[in-house]
Copies of this chain bind each other. A is one copy, B any other.
Amino acid sequence: MKYLQDLQWRYAAKRMNGQTIPAGKLENIKEAVRLAPSSMGLQPYTVLVVEDPVLRAELAPVMFNQPQITEGAALLVFAAWTSVSEDQVDDYLGNIAETRGIPVTALADFRTMILGAVKGKTPEQVFQWNARQAYIGLGYATAAAAFEKVDSTPMEGFSPEGVNRVLGLDEKGLSAVAVVALGYRDEDKDQMAKAIKVRRPAHKFFTVYENNAVPA
């Protein structure tokens, strides 16, 4: 399958060559992230799109100066909602009602379910829950980039406080959980560009349950 070849092709580029990404490709990658599933459809995160080189240079010091930050063409910063408010839930329900042409009152049970799920968690658990949804989006970003033959490097190595400060996220109720640098690999400078992809062999990564038996 073509998509598996593309996923084989992708790797976390360590060095990028500064080439810009055609606007259409970046829009497609963003659209894939927007279409990613999330728990109850809430999409409890925001994606910050930073192409501006000045702002990327400002981010570099709070991201351990990894070369892709400035050598890439764009950063997608996945920022999880630090909590889930009733207003955010109502915005979501309003969007469902408008999109599907139904009265928002028809969503009363769903509203109770979402708010119940939130209230059943500690604030830290809510944040972790939101962060996990953002990682689904991160997955979609890296896959879509591969289909667009754009390189992508997921990054967790940064100071969330620093990134939040530079991007003004605290006051938006957001906190950065992961970043994807998008750009084009520099095959001359990146010694990983030609390295064989390493993945756990299927027989170790998967456990297949057959005939109602729990494998040893």
Contacts and interface: CB of A to CB of B under 8 A. Distances in A.
Interface of A: 1, 3-4, 7-8, 10, 12, 28, 30-37, 39, 41, 43, 46-52, 54-55, 58, 92, 95-96, 99-100, 128, 131-133, 135-140, 142-144, 147, 154, 156, 167-168, 172, 177-178, 195-202, 205-212, 214
Contacts of A154: 37, 39, 136
B147 A209 contact: no
B99 A212 contact: no
A142 B47 contact: no
B34 A199 contact: yes
A78 to B, nearest CB: 10
B167 A209 contact: yes
B212 A3 contact: no
Contact of A135 (B10, B49, B135): B135
A209 B28 contact: no
In this complex, which of A142, A199, A209, A212 has the most chain B Cβ atoms within 10 angstroms of its Cβ? A209
B47 A205 contact: yes
A126 to B, nearest CB: 13
